[in-house]
Amino acid sequence: MSENRADLSNAALPGLFRRLAAILYDSVLVLALMAAAFTLVYLPLALGLGLEDLRQYPLYQHLMFIWMLVVGISFHLWFWTHGGQTLGMRAWRLRLFSADGAPVSLKQALIRYAVAILSVAAAGLGFLWILWDKDKRAWHDLASGTRLVLVNPNIS
């Protein structure tokens, strides 16, 4: 086994509540990050261009939507590929690995994010799937070849 791979054979698997709690925690952080990105980058740019009423500029509104999407996606991709934990995952003692215990690649993170969106769009069924999967994997875990494990499960 490589030094960069974790032994996941006896890893504790998190349940649905812990996963959803980490998602809620990260959602608050991402909303704050989006507000900062809008206030510090996008709004000054709009005002500098003399676009006080953004409703008159649909293209600018679409660009704003894309910018906010990039900020939200970048948050998750960065943390997943640099240590395997977002701040919410750290708070709820979750860590993301490749199924073989290696760090998550950018490709895996992109697939995971895209399928997680589909999981939510399907009335949350992709997340509820962990209730039936023997290894407690959601659709995005299966599609991306990743595993979410509980870090230090003996600490309450």
In this predicted structure, what is the pLDDT of residue 3? 58
In this predicted structure, what is the pLDDT of residue 54? 65
- pTM higher than 0.75: yes
The residues with which 97 forms a beta bridge, in sequence order, are 147
Average pLDDT value for the chain = 90
119 or 2: which carries more pLDDT confidence?
A: 119
Is the CB of residue 67 less than 8 Å from the CB of residue 34?
A: no
Q: Does residue 48 surpass a pLDDT of 80? A: no
* pLDDT one-digit tens code per residue, 97-122: 999 999 999 999 999 999 999 999 99
Give the closest residue to 94 by CA, choosing from 13, 131, 149, 24: 149
Residue entry with tokens 């991709």:
77
In this predicted structure, what is the pLDDT of residue 55? 65
Q: CA gyration radius for the chain?
A: 18
Q: Does residue 144 surpass a pLDDT of 50? A: yes
Band of the pLDDT at 61, cuts 50, 70, 90? Answer: confident
Band of the pLDDT at 46, cuts 50, 70, 90? Answer: confident
Query: Which H/E stretch holds residue 91?
Result: helix 87-91
Range 123-141 average pLDDT: 96
In this predicted structure, what is the pLDDT of residue 53? 66
**Domain residue spans of the chain:** 16-150
Give the closest residue to 18 by CA, choosing from 142, 123, 125, 130: 130
